[in-house]
A and B are shown apart, each in its own frame.
Chain A
Amino acid sequence: MTGSAPPADASSDVWDDACLIAALVAIDPAGLGGVSLRGGAGPARDRWLAGFRQGLSADTPVRRAPLNIPDDRLLGGLDLAASLSMGRAVAQRGLLVDCDGGVAILAMAERIETGIAGRIAAVLDQAEVTIEREGLTQRWPASFGVVALDEGIEPDERPPAALLERLAFRIDLNGVRPETSFDDFPDAEDVAQAKDTLAAQRQAPDWVVEALCTAASKCGVSSPRGTLLALRAAAVHAALNGRLEIAVDDLAAAARLVLAPRATRSPDQEASSQPQPEPQSAPEAGPETDAQQSAEPPQAQAEAPETKDPGPDLSNTTPPSDIAVAAVQAALPQDLKAGGLLAVPARSAPSRARGEGGGVISARRGRPLGSRPGVLRPGDRLDLPQTLRTAAPWQRLRRQALGLLDALTPANDATRIRVRPEDFRIRRFIQPSQSTTVFVVDASGSAALNRLGEAKGAVELLLAKAYVSRTRVALIAFAGANAEVLLAPTRSLTRAKRQLSDLAGGGGTPLASAIDAALALALSERSKDRAPRLVFLTDGRANLGRGGVPGRPLAEAQALEAAAQVRNAGVASVFMDTSPRPQPNGDRFALAMGGLYAPLPYVDASAVFSLVDSLGPARGVGGVRGAA
């Protein structure tokens, strides 16, 4: 988005689609998974939610889940009060169970932890809630749709990919002014009628399946879930229009609403920019696999000939797959249409596994993350309510074991609560302040000649290390006119690996631009409460100034100036000199940055390790942030 408000007609188009999506989700919330509604709280969102609810019958449950709701509220758990008073284990249903047959509204969905998103995704997949918690084993049916309220602003602030992938639709209400448009929300009666029509529909004809698969594959929608949701959306759209059979209009609507937001490339650039991936290791032709392959499903073979007709009314017009592709094409975001290959974020945001999988779990600081059984050590904080809760059911047993239940026991002894060490629940916190290691790799000609390979080797070791300690890594490479962020901060080694291996050397050394880019990235990480560390791998022979201006003296002066800013910002750094032999230049830069200097030839692998490790997230000269 380039600042200016979208023209009114674009806004009303978005609003029309938003109304349509409200109708579709109201008809089949569970089948479509739901919708991600992007945009801050405001009149547009309120209006949409009100319009959406108008389509739901009065008895449809709608529950709103607060951000990072605990498991016992989300899924269910032991109802301790009821259990104690009734003398038997009483289960308490979670919010998702209450949503059965209706809709769950997730507040601030862009901040939902991956762990919670995973739980919701599992329930969406299984259409039931299974708990194995607190001495209870329970299973409840729970099929519902999700309305995820995404208040993200930055492109990478979005609901977790696992969740987004299971919701058919995405609406972006930013810049939409519903007051200028006509509201076309369905009423409950339309919805009820469409539900009946949907139930009476038969399996989707093959031409629809083929058209959607073709369109999905041309636009780089790789997960079959996207296509399946599009297929479902086509069926629901047909039902909304009173059709028992999917028509071309339904196909186009499904392609526009479901496939377009998932597209990772424009269909017409398919051939040029993304060669069809090679078929994954062609199946070995073992006798057994052959047999399996040829044992084609009986019913698929039988059905193929009869259902192959490409739709009655289209035999000599545009093939349906082209219609689907065109519908996607028309709805693609501008940057995709312009031929740019959409970066990964459109499909799956860079890894943001927070929650149990990542983050720094701490005993003292950070956001509360429930509690777990454990030995109480100095510095730990006891979760007293949880501990008492754990101890409560066993009181009778314990008193009995101590022989305290007979009539002779003094009253206060009999009623005293007996807490044992195994009841202890220790509070845990997750520290938002994680570290991000930014590798700034010199890929210039001189570095390539010298030791780009070794630099890559060093980065490899550091990556492995970052991988083990589960910190984030980012990669900036510089050569030629500028420095480029090859990899935004991620925890995915797979992606870091891929980027690094593609790195080729050549060109000048724009060191100043590289330091600028690294600092910008470091500061942006810091604003997200992650402690940045910069690791430079270069020979320090700057010969290009900012903007690609040649000249060694200028380049060096600018680089030194940029380095001083790193020092001022208090960002921890290490300067690994990759030149054949140590030279004063490198030392000068390290000094200017207030960082460590490590001449690579003399530093072996394990030393590299400990060096970066010693760069605690907070060790910088200048403004020190956070505590060690």
Chain B
Amino acid sequence: MRPEPTPLRVSAAEPAKEMSSPAPKRSRQAFPFSALVGQDEMKRALLIAAVDPSIGGVMVFGDRGSGKSTAVRGLAALLPRLAAVKGCAFHCDPVSDAGRCAADCAACAEALAGQGVIELIDTPVVDLPLGATEDRVVGALDLEHALTRGEKRFEPGLLARAHRGFLYIDEVNLLEDHLVDLLLDVAASGENLVEREGLSVRHPARFVLIGSGNPEEGELRPQLLDRFGLSVDVHTPSILADRIEVVRRRDAFDRDRSAFTAAWMADEAAIREQIVAARERLPQVETPDEVLEAGSRLCMTVGADGLRGELTILRASRAVAALKGSTVVSIDDVREIAPMALRHRLRRNPLDEGGSAARIERAIAELFGA
């Protein structure tokens, strides 16, 4: 028998602000996203997730040193700021009702009544450090409160902090299996349930899960892989000029972070505007029937089981159309995102030389012409 979840209580005497554990400030400047050389597919996948968080997460596989972490950490600086209810531990959206925290969150109630204070916050991009313990991930009782006052108070964890934003796990394959399962469950349901010391807390946790890993260090279980919306493979650049540019930019960044970041500000702003515009456009983007059909046929041809593939193609191609400034999805959009939407959903075929990507390319060429 599970006790009925007690909604999180915020007593009037305490300022609700204290509730949230202080998110550490981003201490070091991240390498600008726009300054990454090449890696277009990875960048596109991350932008798609930024435009449509319902895409279901992005998994980035790649060689060492190919800029996986750099891209994700750089994304944080690009994301537009969010309007949030001030004082709510879960920085709820003051407008939308979806994914709101417990009904008796004082701050949210006030906001709903039109009296709350709304603040602009950075879109959370939470880095899950290796070695994180479960209690900090899902949230637990506030240790300090238990020690000093003998009081039960819920202290939100990383999942709460990542609500409405991104949760990044570098080296997913090094994370303990039970933590990965838990994260995927919460990511899919959008809700986190914690039961500790007789206290039961349910809170929204809608976030885009981004994982990265190196297949040479052990692979991910297929069941797990399938639950990511998009999957991209990154390689270190093979063209000399690109490699020189990578090294040159990184060196310049390491020498003087502020100056480098300043030099790329305009490019960063352009991408940020692109994301904002695409988000606004997204609800209006139409998907013609023949494009829908093409997506389904593609899934059938490559043998991607289940509806998840088709759904992802639909969403990702819409997002990519929106990013391009279009309001109608074209076959080209599907062609562009199909590899990342399907690559990880195919039955493994160790004998196929080119791997999944080549099978998808072949199917695309067959169906839509070269």
Asked if B170 and A122 sit within 8 Å, CB to CB, the answer is yes
Q: For chain A residues 136-169, which have a beta carbon within 8 Å of chain B? A: 136-139, 141, 161-162, 165
Of the candidates A394, A401, A468, which one forms a contact with B221 in the assembled complex, judged by CB atoms under 8 Å apart? A468
B64 contacts which of A225, A297, A491 (Cβ < 8 Å)?
A225
Whether B64 lies near A223 (C-beta < 8 A) is: yes
For residue B216, CB closer than 8 A to chain A, the reply is yes
What B residues does A281 contact at CB under 8 A?
Answer: 41, 357, 361
Supposing A89-B143, A286-B332, A355-B174 touch, asked if A204 and B131 sit within 8 A by C-beta, the answer is no
Q: How far is the CA of A284 from the CA of B40 in the complex (A)?
A: 9
In the complex, chain B residues 81-137 whose Cβ is within 8 Å of any chain A Cβ: 127-137
User: For the complex, what is the distance from the CA of A286 to the CA of B135, rounded to whole Å?
Assistant: 45
Which residues of B in the span 21-47 have a Cβ within 8 Å of any Cβ on A?
Answer: 21-24, 27-28, 35, 38, 40-41
Of residues 57 through 99 on chain A, the ones whose CB sits less than 8 Å from some CB of chain B are: 71, 74-75, 78, 83-84, 87-89
B28–A279 contact, CB under 8 A? no
Cα–Cα distance between A299 and B261 once the two chains are bound (Å) = 11
Asked if residues B247 and A71 are in contact (CB atoms below 8 Å), the reply is no
| Chain B positions 209-236 with a Cβ under 8 Å from a chain A Cβ | 214-219, 221-222, 235-236
Measured between beta carbons, the chain B residues less than 8 angstroms from A300 are 245, 248-249
Of B51-59, B302-310, B344-352, the one contacting chain A is B344-352
A410: Cβ under 8 A from any B Cβ: no
Are the C-beta atoms of B197 and A212 separated by less than 8 Å?
no
Q: Determine if B28 and A464 form an interchain contact, defined as CB atoms under 8 angstroms apart.
A: no
A494 near B27 with CB under 8 A, answer: no
Are A497 and B197 neighbours in the complex by a CB distance under 8 Å?
no
Shortest Cβ gap from A232 to chain B (Å): 8
Point out the residue from B40, B137, B144, B219 that lies within 8 Å of A467, measured CB to CB.
Answer: B219
Cα(A299)–Cα(B24), bound, Å: 32
Task: Say whether B251 contacts A209, CB under 8 Å.
Answer: yes
Task: Please encode chain A, from 285 to 299, with 1 for each CB lying within 8 Å of some chain B CB and 0 for all others.
Answer: 011110010010111
In angstroms, Cα B145 to Cα A396, docked, is 10
A139 to B21, CA, bound (A): 13
Residues on B with C-beta less than 8 A from A399 are 150
B200 at the interface (CB under 8 A from A): no
With a CB–CB cut-off of 8 A, which chain A residues contact B349? 460
Q: Which residues of A contact B23 (CB under 8 A)?
A: 137
CA distance A420 to B197 in the complex (A): 9
For A84, give the chain B residue with the smallest CB separation.
B147
Instruction: Quote the shortest CB–CB distance from B318 to chain A (angstroms).
Output: 15
B133 cross-chain contacts in A, Cβ below 8 A: 132-134
B181 within 8 Å of A (CB atoms):
no
A500 CB, min distance to chain B CBs, angstroms: 6
The interface size bin for chain A is: 35 or more
Task: List the B residue with the shortest CB-CB distance to A71.
Answer: B131
State A112–B89 Cα separation when bound (angstroms).
39
Kindly list chain A residues whose C-beta atoms are within 8 Å of the C-beta of B128.
Answer: 132
B150 touches A400 (CB 8 A): yes
Cβ < 8 Å to B, chain A residues 248-287: 276-281, 283-284, 286-287
A115 to B247, CA, bound (A): 28
Q: Mark B46-71, 1 if CB is under 8 A from A, else 0.
A: 00000000000000000111110100
Interchain CB contact under 8 A, B336 and A284: yes
Partner of B197 from the list A125, A276, A288, A394 (CB cut-off 8 Å) is A394
Query: Could you tell me if A297 and B218 are in contact, using CB atoms closer than 8 angstroms?
Result: no
For B65, give its contact among A87, A136, A223, A500 (CB under 8 Å).
A223
Cβ of B279 under 8 Å from chain A: no
B247 touches A227 (CB 8 A): yes
**Residue from the list A353, A457, A491 in contact with B351, Cβ < 8 A:** A457
CA distance A141 to B25 in the complex (A): 13
CB atoms of B173 and A353 under 8 A apart: yes
The smallest C-beta distance from A414 to any residue of chain B, in angstroms, reads 13
A210 lies within 8 A of chain B by Cβ = yes
Bound form: Cα–Cα A393–B214 in Å: 39
Q: Whose C-beta in chain B lies nearest to the C-beta of A201?
A: B255
Q: Is the CB of A223 within 8 A of B147?
A: no
Query: Is A227 within 8 A of B243, CB to CB?
Result: yes
Output the least CB separation between B256 and chain A (Å): 8
User: Does B323 interact with chain A (Cβ within 8 Å)?
Assistant: yes
Query: Is A279 within 8 A of B239, CB to CB?
Result: yes
Query: A295 and B131 in contact (CB under 8 A), knowing A224-B246, A289-B40, A500-B350?
Result: no
Question: How close is A521's CB to chain B, nearest CB, in angstroms?
Answer: 20
A281→B198 CA distance, assembly (Å): 55
Residues of A within 8 A of B174 (CB): 114-115, 118, 353, 355-357
**B173: nearest chain-A partner, CB-CB:** A357
Task: Check if A351 sits within 8 Å of B218, measured CB to CB.
Answer: yes
Q: Which residues of A contact B178 (CB under 8 A)?
A: 372
Given A397-B152, A467-B348, also A353-B127 (CB < 8 A): no
Whether A351 and B217, one on each chain, are in contact in the complex, defined by CB atoms closer than 8 angstroms, is yes
Point out the residues of chain B lying under 8 angstroms from A554, CB to CB: none
Nearest chain B residue, comparing its CB with the CB of A280:
B235
Whether A216 sits at the interface, judged by CB under 8 Å, is yes
Nearest Cβ in chain A — how far from B213, in angstroms? 9
CB pair B173 A119 closer than 8 Å: no
A492 adjacent to B240 (CB under 8 Å): no
Residues on B with C-beta less than 8 A from A206 are: 248
Task: Tell me the residues in window 347-392 of chain A with beta carbons closer than 8 Å to chain B beta carbons.
Answer: 348, 351, 353, 355-358, 372-373
Docked Cα-Cα span, A498 to B215, in Å, equals 13
**A-side contacts of B130, CB under 8 Å:** 115, 118-119, 122
| B171 CB contacts on chain A under 8 angstroms | 118, 122, 162
Contact of A492 among B64, B216, B270, B352 (CB under 8 A): B216
Chain B residue contacts of A222, Cβ below 8 A: 63, 65, 236
A214 within 8 A of B: yes
Across-interface contacts of A141 in B (CB, < 8 A):
27
CA distance A75 to B129 in the complex (A): 10
Q: Is the CB of B148 within 8 A of A356?
A: no
Whether A397 touches B146, Cβ cut-off 8 Å, given contacts A161-B216, A223-B236, A288-B323, is: yes
* Inter-subunit contact A130/B127 (CB<8 Å): yes
Verify A132–B147 contact, CB threshold 8 A: no
Q: Which residues of B contact A401 (CB under 8 A)?
A: 198
A231, CB-defined interface residue at 8 Å: yes
Q: Is B367 an interface residue (CB 8 A)?
A: no
Q: A394-B141, A493-B348 are in contact. Are A470 and B247 (CB under 8 A)?
A: no
Contact B140 A422 (CB under 8 A): no
Interface string of B1-32 (1 = CB under 8 A from A): 00000000000000000000111100110000
CB contacts (< 8 Å) of B293 on chain A: these are: none
Residues in A whose Cβ lies below 8 Å from that of B40: 283, 289, 292
Bound complex: CA A75 to CA B349 (Å): 40
Which residue of B65, B251, B353 is within 8 Å of A225 (Cβ)? B65
- Which chain B positions have C-beta within 8 A of A497? 350-352, 355
Given known A-B contacts A128-B27, A203-B251, A135 and B135 have beta carbons under 8 A apart? yes
Tell me the complex Cα distance, A257–B117, Å. Answer: 59
Q: Are B350 and A83 in contact (CB under 8 A)?
A: no
Closest A residue to B215 by beta carbon equals A494
Binding site for B on A (CB under 8 A): 31, 71, 74-75, 78, 83-84, 87-89, 114-115, 118-119, 122, 125-128, 130-139, 141, 161-162, 165, 202-204, 206, 209-210, 212-214, 216-217, 222-228, 231, 276-281, 283-284, 286-289, 292, 295, 297-300, 348, 351, 353, 355-358, 372-373, 393-394, 396-401, 405, 420, 422, 456-457, 459-460, 463-464, 467-468, 470, 491-498, 500-501
Q: List 23 A-B contacts (CB under 8 A).
A: A88-B147, A88-B148, A89-B147, A132-B133, A132-B158, A161-B217, A162-B64, A203-B252, A209-B251, A213-B240, A222-B65, A222-B236, A223-B64, A225-B64, A289-B40, A297-B35, A357-B217, A396-B150, A397-B146, A400-B150, A401-B198, A493-B215, A500-B350
What 3 A-B pairs are tightest by C-beta distance, nearest first?
Answer: A223-B65, A353-B218, A135-B143
Q: Identify 17 new A-B residue pairs, CB closer than 8 A, beyond the known A75-B129, A496-B350.
A: A118-B174, A132-B132, A134-B136, A139-B24, A139-B27, A203-B252, A214-B240, A224-B250, A231-B247, A281-B361, A351-B216, A357-B174, A357-B218, A393-B147, A397-B152, A459-B350, A497-B355
